[in-house]
């Protein structure tokens, strides 16, 4: 068996090991890599900057714990950006698995950094089943959909919510999503109620949402951990996403090398030639 | 770190490694973790629905007087009828209600919120490619203050945006007498930002007029960002003007990014432009305030990108949604569609790799920083 | 009756919501629409419980009949009840009950469920690397287009890769973002969005009109 054939039939666990090493090494030997800002991330930053200070905004936690590594840095950075502008933040989630818990934990920890008070500066509405019903219903009355916050406190007892009736009182929506709920925020809320919005999404979802950016339905887009890293740099608070860029770089280069090797093996090892010959 | 926190980190690390162990081969430890995970996932939803739906949306409001909520309550319970074959048809009523309401919302929102805006965006791009007239007009201005022998430039002026046809809008701005009196921002947050800057020079005064010495030229520099400039051929007409506070402009230079005419314009990064114009002041100038006007006009001529977009959208729709046999002209269009789709799927694959790797990074970050870090 | 009543229910409820955008929200029709959306939240909420009951039944049956791997299924059942029972008990009795910070429910979510779910998905990174090595071949023109695009995008989206691209002639990162992501990719995604949305709208109309009945199942 020739070298290329051996290479083609390499045990997959060697590949797993290489991937593991490529991810671990940059955490042991960190490197400060220059991270460029894409126009879409700049647009997110500019759009949030343009929200008048003190406005009431939504930060929506539409992601599962599975994508916490990509989405949480975005949500965290968005909260920092809004709190820095003294915006009043209302969080909610359409995800029945962990969404409201993550919204609670993240919003409370970021609020603590800024000395923000629950009920006055931020509120977590939590979760209600059926995102289309929730999004449609909040157009008339947020309180009728969420009679209480995530902890069961009636909205009438929260000072921030006394000023908020429906979307008319919401200046901006920052959607962080790892699934198609972002589509419904666009088609139901942005289209029918005209609330401007941006979206931070996983890398898997990002290519699709270029269409929403081009149609100005999203005023900006953060795609995956790189998008989160760009946003962290833009607000001047480097965090987990920036830290992850070293490992991200190394694994991408490894995978590209594997693709090249795989193709070399395919063509030089005879499999490709055999396939072409039929 | 408290004992509980250390215990928690070890628990998380144990189950993380147990799940990763499957990468070597299937084993009992992995199975234990997998089954516990499945159970917890199901259990989480019980707590969530109990509090957010049954208590907050059904029980409490009913006790508060909204007695009619017993109707959706019964509909909800009827869902469980599907566990008994004989009565399972009853659950259809509940399901039909859920489907009906959802369909009602979808019917309009999908057309109004997705189909129309996406088609509109494609058509606008096409129409802009045909009509290259200006669509947006942004202006900004700085001030050259010539007062008793000093040439200065007013501080960076807040960026402004204004509707088209407002070359004269420069006149309507407040004339600043001092540097401490900045010109207020006009309207709306900026889309294009322009910060006029100039090189300072020195002058000597002769009462009413100023002799400009050692000032061969004033470089008027306009830096602007148009992050929405995603399109090839999206060029900028930049008008530099120098005029006294009153009276006719002394000079107006019009140029654009791709046809340099005495103005150097460079794109320093995608969507970021720097335009410089060397202004040679006349030998003498009257003392006073001079406006340096920078007007940036975005002209969308998105030839190439528009062609890509229109051809891409149409050929994709043809490939995916025309069930007629792909032969002849339709076949050619479908073939083009495949190429476009391959590009998009390639991009998607690249992004998917990125996403999956990010998730692994998250776990490794925990293992290296939190777990190993806790005992190092 | 078994199909007529559901069809009437779907028709009436769908009609109200479909017409709602054309009416003011503060009149009786707006009120009706709001009531129905709230009902959907309640009725739909039970569907989540349906899934839990189903999982519990399947696992319970496997345990009682001592099917293969029943020991693991005991763990699943224990986990379901460990998470569910304390969460539905009143937090007034103990801070360990309910869903708040410090409860058993929250502890299990933060320290077990959430990291395990993240790990489950993190393993996909290994599989995708292996798949890229084994299956990503330039077998045809189309496959080559896909491969080249994917490779360029992978390079572009990371700092080290971008550094490499910047050293090549032409502004490749800019071209990638403009013509690949914002051009060809955007066009295809737009085509898919338009098609899918038209499909969803027509399916909605079929459901409201009672033409589409597959959701009811057989019988």
Compare CB distances from C43 to B98, B105, B321 and report the shortest one's residue: B98
Say whether A256 and C155 touch across the interface (CB within 8 A): yes
pLDDT in tens, chain C (219 residues): 788 999 999 999 999 999 998 988 888 999 999 999 999 999 999 998 998 999 999 999 999 999 988 999 999 999 999 999 999 999 899 999 998 888 999 999 999 999 999 999 999 999 999 999 888 888 899 999 999 999 999 999 898 998 898 888 777 887 888 889 988 999 999 999 999 999 999 999 999 999 988 888 765
Instruction: Provide the mean pLDDT of chain A.
Output: 92
* Higher per-residue pLDDT: C197 or A276: C197
Same domain, B145 and B238: yes
Please check whether residue B347 touches A, CB under 8 A.
yes
Same domain, B255 and B120: no
Alpha-carbon gap: B148 to the closest alpha carbon of chain A (Å): 39
Per residue in B53-77, pLDDT tens?
999 999 999 999 999 999 999 999 9
Compare CB distances from A27 to B44, B106, B368 and report the shortest one's residue: B368
Q: For residues C154 and C176, is the Cβ–Cβ distance under 8 A?
A: no
Give φ, ψ of A185 to 5 degrees: -60, -35
Per residue in B106-150, pLDDT tens?
999 999 999 999 998 888 766 655 554 444 444 444 445 444 334
Q: Among the listed ranges B181-190, B300-309, B347-356, which one has the minimum average pLDDT value? A: B181-190
Task: Look at chain B and report how many structural domains it folds into.
Answer: 4
Say whether C38 and A144 touch across the interface (CB within 8 A): yes
Could you say which DSSP state residue B282 is in?
Answer: -
Same domain, B144 and B233: yes
Give φ, ψ of B236 to 5 degrees: -120, 125
Question: What is the mean pLDDT of the segment spanning A156-165?
Answer: 94
The Cα B218–Cα B142 span in angstroms is 13
Domain enclosing residue B246, as ranges:
136-300
The Cα B93–Cα B108 span in angstroms is 23
Contact residues for A196 (Cβ-Cβ < 8 A; gap 6+)? A47, A171, A172, A173, A190, A219
Q: For residues A213 and A220, is the Cβ–Cβ distance under 8 A?
A: yes
Same domain, B140 and B40: no
Per residue in B167-219, pLDDT tens?
222 222 222 222 222 322 222 323 333 433 333 333 333 333 343 444 455 56
Please check whether residue A200 touches B, CB under 8 A.
no
The Cα B190–Cα B226 span in angstroms is 10
Alpha-carbon gap: A55 to the closest alpha carbon of chain C (Å): 24
Q: What is the pLDDT of residue B255?
A: 57
Q: What is the pLDDT of residue A212?
A: 95
Which chain B residues contact residue A211 at CB under 8 A?
118
Per residue in A125-144, pLDDT tens?
999 999 999 999 999 999 99
Question: What is the mean pLDDT of the segment spanning A236-243?
Answer: 93
* Higher per-residue pLDDT: B245 or B331: B331
Same domain, B90 and B185: no
Contact residues for A53 (Cβ-Cβ < 8 A; gap 6+)? A85, A86, A87
Instruction: Tell whether the model's pLDDT for residue B293 goes beyond 70.
Output: no
pLDDT band at B280 (very low <50, low <70, confident <90, very high): low
The CATH number of A39-238, from 3.40.190, 1.10.443, 3.40.50, 3.40.390, is 3.40.50
What are the counts of helices (DSSP H) followed by strands (DSSP E) for chain C? 10, 0
Instruction: Tell whether the model's pLDDT for residue A159 goes beyond 80.
Output: yes
Q: Among the listed ranges B10-24, B221-235, B298-312, which one has the minimum average pLDDT value? A: B221-235
Tokens matching residue B106: 């979808």
Instruction: For residue B239, tell me if it sits in a domain.
Output: yes
Q: What is the pLDDT of residue B127?
A: 63
Q: What is the pLDDT of residue A220?
A: 93
Instruction: Provide the mean pLDDT of chain B.
Output: 71
Say whether B348 and A207 touch across the interface (CB within 8 A): yes
Q: What is the pLDDT of residue B221?
A: 62
Which three-class secondary structure state does DSSP give residue A137? helix
Best to test chain C binding among A13, A262, A276 (most C CBs inside 10 Å)? A262
Question: What is the mean pLDDT of the segment spanning A166-182?
Answer: 95
Which chain C residues contact residue A213 at CB under 8 A?
182
Say whether C41 and A67 touch across the interface (CB within 8 A): no
Q: For residues C114 and A98, is the Cβ–Cβ distance under 8 A?
A: yes
Chain C neighbors (3+ CB pairs < 8 Å): A, B
Alpha-carbon gap: B366 to the closest alpha carbon of chain A (Å): 10
Tokens matching residue A259: 């693709």
Best to test chain C binding among A65, A165, A254 (most C CBs inside 10 Å)? A65
Say whether C126 and A128 touch across the interface (CB within 8 A): no
Q: How far is CA C12 from the centre of its chain?
A: 28
Q: What is the pLDDT of residue B225?
A: 60
Sketch the domain layout of chain C as residue ranges: 126-207
The Cα C135–Cα C133 span in angstroms is 6
Burial class (CB in 10 A: 0-12, 13-18, 19+), B210: buried
Q: Among the listed ranges A21-35, A196-210, B236-250, which one has the minimum average pLDDT value? A: B236-250
Instruction: Tell whether the model's pLDDT for residue B94 goes beyond 80.
Output: yes
Strand order in the sheet with B234-244: B251-256, B234-244, B288-300, B136-147, B150-153, B202-206, B209-213, B284-286
Using CA coordinates, name the residue in chain C closest to A256. C151
Per-residue buried b or exposed e for B300-336, using 16+ beta carbons within 10 Å of the residue's own CB: bbbeebbebbbbbbbbbbbbbeeeeebeeeeeebbeb
Within 12-31 of B, beta carbons closer than 8 Å to A belong to 23-24
Q: For residues C160 and A26, is the Cβ–Cβ distance under 8 A?
A: no
pLDDT band at A181 (very low <50, low <70, confident <90, very high): very high
Could you say which DSSP state residue C214 is in?
Answer: G
Question: What is the mean pLDDT of the segment spanning A231-246?
Answer: 94
DSSP E strand stretches across A144-256: 172-177, 197-201, 221-223
Task: State how beta strands B209-213 and B202-206 pair.
Answer: antiparallel
The single residue listed with the structure tokens 């499957």 is B22
Same domain, B200 and B258: yes
Alpha-carbon gap: C66 to the closest alpha carbon of chain A (Å): 30
Please check whether residue A27 touches B, CB under 8 A.
yes
Which three-class secondary structure state does DSSP give residue B298? strand
pLDDT band at A265 (very low <50, low <70, confident <90, very high): confident
Q: What is the pLDDT of residue B67?
A: 93
Using CA coordinates, name the residue in chain A closest to C42. A129
Count CB-CB contacts under 10 A for residue A52.
10
Instruction: Tell whether the model's pLDDT for residue B288 goes beyond 90.
Output: no
Q: Among the listed ranges A26-30, B281-285, C96-100, which one has the minimum average pLDDT value? A: B281-285
Best to test chain B binding among A14, A23, A139, A205 (most B CBs inside 10 Å)? A23
Same domain, B156 and B264: yes
Instruction: Tell whether the model's pLDDT for residue B352 goes beyond 90.
Output: yes
Tokens matching residue B132: 């290259």
CA atoms in the 13 A half-sphere facing the CB of A122? 30
The Cα B275–Cα C108 span in angstroms is 58
Q: For residues A93 and A103, is the Cβ–Cβ distance under 8 A?
A: yes
Say whether C187 and B312 touch across the interface (CB within 8 A): yes
Same domain, B260 and B311: no
Strand partners, B220: B277
Same domain, B151 and B249: yes
Q: What is the pLDDT of residue B20?
A: 96
Task: State how beta strands A122-127 and A88-93 pair.
Answer: parallel
Say whether A248 and B362 touch across the interface (CB within 8 A): no
Task: State how beta strands A172-177 and A56-62 pair.
Answer: parallel
């Amino acid at each position: 068996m020739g070298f290329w054939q051996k290479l083609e039939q390499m045990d997959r666990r060697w590949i797993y090991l290489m991937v593991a090493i490529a991810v671990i090494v940059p955490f042991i030997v960190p490197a400060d890599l220059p991270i460029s800002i894409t126009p879409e991330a700049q647009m997110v930053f500019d759009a949030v900057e343009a929200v008048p200070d003190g406005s009431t905004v939504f930060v929506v936690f539409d992601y599962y714990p599975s994508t916490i590594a990509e989405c949480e840095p975005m949500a965290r950075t968005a909260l920092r950006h809004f709190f820095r502008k003294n915006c009043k933040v209302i969080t909610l989630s359409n995800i029945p698995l962990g969404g409201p818990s993550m919204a609670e934990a993240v919003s409370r920890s970021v609020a603590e950094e800024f000395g923000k008070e629950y009920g006055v500066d931020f509120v977590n509405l939590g979760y209600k089943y059926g995102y289309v019903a929730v999004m449609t219903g909040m157009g008339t009355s947020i309180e009728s959909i969420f009679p209480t916050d995530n902890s069961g406190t009636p909205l009438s007892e929260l000072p921030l919510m006394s000023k908020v009736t429906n979307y008319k009182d919401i200046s901006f929506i920052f959607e962080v999503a790892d699934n198609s709920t972002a589509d419904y925020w666009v088609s139901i809320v942005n289209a029918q109620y005209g609330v401007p919005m941006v979206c931070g999404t996983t890398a898997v979802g990002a290519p699709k949402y270029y269409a929403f950016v081009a149609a100005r339905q999203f005023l900006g887009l953060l795609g995956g951990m790189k998008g989160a890293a760009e946003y962290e740099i833009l607000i001047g608070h480097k965090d987990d996403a920036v830290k992850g860029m070293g490992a991200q770089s190394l694994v991408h280069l490894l995978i590209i090398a594997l693709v090249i090797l795989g193709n070399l093996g395919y063509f030089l090892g005879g499999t490709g030639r055999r396939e072409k010959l039929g | 770190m408290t004992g509980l926190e250390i215990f928690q980190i070890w628990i998380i690390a144990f189950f993380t490694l147990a799940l990763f162990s499957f990468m070597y081969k299937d084993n009992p430890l992995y199975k234990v973790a997998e089954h516990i995970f499945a159970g917890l996932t199901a259990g989480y939803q019980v707590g969530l629905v109990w509090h957010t739906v049954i208590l907050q949306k059904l029980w409490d409001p009913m006790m508060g007087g909204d007695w009619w909520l017993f109707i959706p309550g019964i509909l909800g319970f009827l869902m469980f009828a599907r566990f008994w074959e004989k009565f399972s048809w009853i659950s259809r009523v509940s399901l039909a209600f859920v489907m009906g309401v959802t369909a009602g919302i979808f019917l309009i929102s999908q057309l109004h919120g997705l189909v129309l805006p996406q088609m509109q965006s494609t058509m606008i791009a096409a129409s802009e490619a045909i009509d290259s007239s200006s669509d947006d007009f942004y202006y900004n201005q700085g001030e050259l203050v010539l007062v008793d022998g000093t040439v200065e430039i007013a501080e960076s002026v807040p960026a402004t945006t204004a509707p088209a046809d407002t070359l004269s809008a420069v006149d309507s701005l407040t004339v600043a007498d001092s540097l401490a009196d900045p010109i207020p921002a006009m309207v709306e947050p900026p889309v294009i930002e322009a910060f006029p800057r100039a090189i300072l020079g020195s002058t000597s005064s002769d009462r009413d007029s100023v002799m400009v010495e050692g000032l061969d030229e004033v470089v008027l520099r306009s830096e602007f960002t148009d992050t929405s400039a995603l399109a090839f051929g999206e060029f900028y007409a930049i008008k530099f003007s120098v005029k006294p506070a009153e009276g006719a402009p002394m000079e107006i230079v019009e140029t654009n990014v791709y046809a340099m005419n005495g103005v150097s314009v460079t794109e320093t990064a995608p969507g970021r432009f720097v335009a410089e114009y060397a202004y040679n002041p006349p030998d003498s100038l009257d003392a006073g305030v001079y406006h340096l006007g920078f007007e940036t006009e975005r002209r969308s001529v998105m030839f190439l990108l528009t062609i890509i977009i229109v051809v891409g959208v149409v050929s994709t729709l043809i490939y995916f949604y025309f069930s007629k046999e792909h032969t002849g002209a339709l076949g050619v269009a479908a073939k083009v569609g495949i190429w476009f789709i391959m590009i998009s799927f390639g991009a998607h694959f690249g992004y998917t790799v990125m996403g999956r790797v990010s998730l692994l990074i998250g776990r490794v970050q925990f293992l290296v920083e939190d777990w190993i870090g806790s005992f190092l | 009756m078994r199909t007529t009543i559901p069809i009437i229910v779907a028709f009436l409820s769908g009609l109200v919501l479909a017409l709602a955008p054309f009416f003011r929200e503060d009149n009786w029709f707006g009120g009706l629409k709001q009531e129905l959306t709230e009902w959907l939240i309640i009725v739909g909420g039970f569907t989540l419980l349906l899934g839990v009951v189903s999982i519990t039944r399947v696992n319970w049956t496997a345990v009682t009949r001592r099917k293969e791997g029943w020991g693991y299924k005991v763990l699943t059942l224990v986990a379901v009840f460990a998470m569910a029972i304390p969460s539905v008990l009143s937090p007034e009795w103990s801070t360990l009950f309910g869903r708040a910070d410090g409860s058993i429910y929250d502890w299990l979510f933060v320290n077990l469920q959430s990291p395990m779910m993240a790990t489950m998905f993190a393993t996909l990174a290994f599989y995708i690397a292996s798949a890229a090595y084994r299956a990503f071949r330039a077998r045809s023109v189309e496959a080559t287009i896909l491969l080249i695009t994917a490779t360029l995008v992978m390079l572009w989206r990371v700092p080290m890769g971008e550094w490499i691209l910047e050293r090549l002639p032409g502004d490749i990162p800019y071209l990638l973002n403009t013509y690949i992501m914002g051009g060809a990719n955007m066009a295809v995604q737009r085509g898919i969005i338009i098609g899918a949305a038209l499909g969803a709208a027509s399916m909605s109309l079929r459901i409201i009109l009672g033409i589409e009945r597959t959701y009811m199942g057989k019988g």
